């Protein structure tokens, strides 16, 4: 694909609104995390989720090798946190207040929901890997206004439309 086709594809894909999440894990006791908008539910029974990590992401090797991770669904007031975890080359956990789960995975405060997951599949797919996780625990957090990403910008959800 040439650069013009790639740009057209990127623009077309940006027309699909997605939620914004931070995925965290620990590798050799060191916390890792990244912002993702590729999160999706796969199955209710058993509860499975998926998300993808780019092969050029600094966290690629870390997330492709972990057993446990936590998906944090962000609220509309967590744009700064999303930007922090989307910035390559910084210590995303520096001066960040977080706890550790029973599997030593960092837990970030303020998420709408947290899914504690165990990796069950890791599929190469183009320039990404798709990670499928079994949901081991769900924590309902605060708030009802999720952070949305649409047309390469943050958005929030307004009132639901009656249908």
Summarize pLDDT for 125-163 with one digit per residue, the tens: 999 999 999 999 999 987 778 999 988 888 877 655 555
- CA 129, CA 136: separation in Å to the nearest integer? 21
What are the DSSP E strand ranges found in 62-112? 68-73, 98-100, 106-108
Whole-model pTM? 0.91
Closest by Cα among 36, 24, 20 to 117: 24
pLDDT at 108: 96
> Domains along the chain?
3-156 (2.30.110.10)
Summarize pLDDT for 94-122 with one digit per residue, the tens: 999 899 999 999 999 999 999 999 999 99
Q: What is the sign of the dihedral through the CA atoms of 93, 47, 147 and 89?
A: positive
- CA 58, CA 5: separation in Å to the nearest integer? 25
pLDDT at 163: 55
Summarize pLDDT for 34-71 with one digit per residue, the tens: 999 999 999 999 999 999 999 999 999 999 999 999 99
């Amino acid at each position: 694909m040439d650069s013009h086709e790639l740009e057209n594809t990127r623009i077309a894909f940006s027309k699909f609104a997605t939620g914004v999440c931070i995925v965290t894990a620990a590798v050799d006791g060191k916390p890792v995390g990244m912002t993702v908008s590729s999160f999706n539910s796969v199955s209710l029974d058993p509860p499975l989720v998926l998300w993808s990590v780019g092969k050029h992401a600094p966290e690629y090797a870390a997330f492709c090798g972990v057993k446990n991770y936590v998906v944090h669904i962000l609220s509309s007031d967590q744009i700064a946190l999303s930007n922090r975890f989307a910035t390559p080359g910084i210590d995303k956990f520096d001066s960040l207040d977080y706890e550790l789960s029973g599997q030593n995975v960092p837990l970030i405060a303020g998420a709408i929901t947290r899914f504690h997951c165990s990796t069950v599949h890791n599929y190469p797919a183009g320039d990404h890997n798709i990670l499928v996780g079994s949901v081991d625990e769900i924590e309902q957090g605060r708030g009802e206004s999720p952070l949305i990403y649409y047309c390469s910008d943050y958005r929030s959800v307004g009132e639901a439309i009656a249908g």
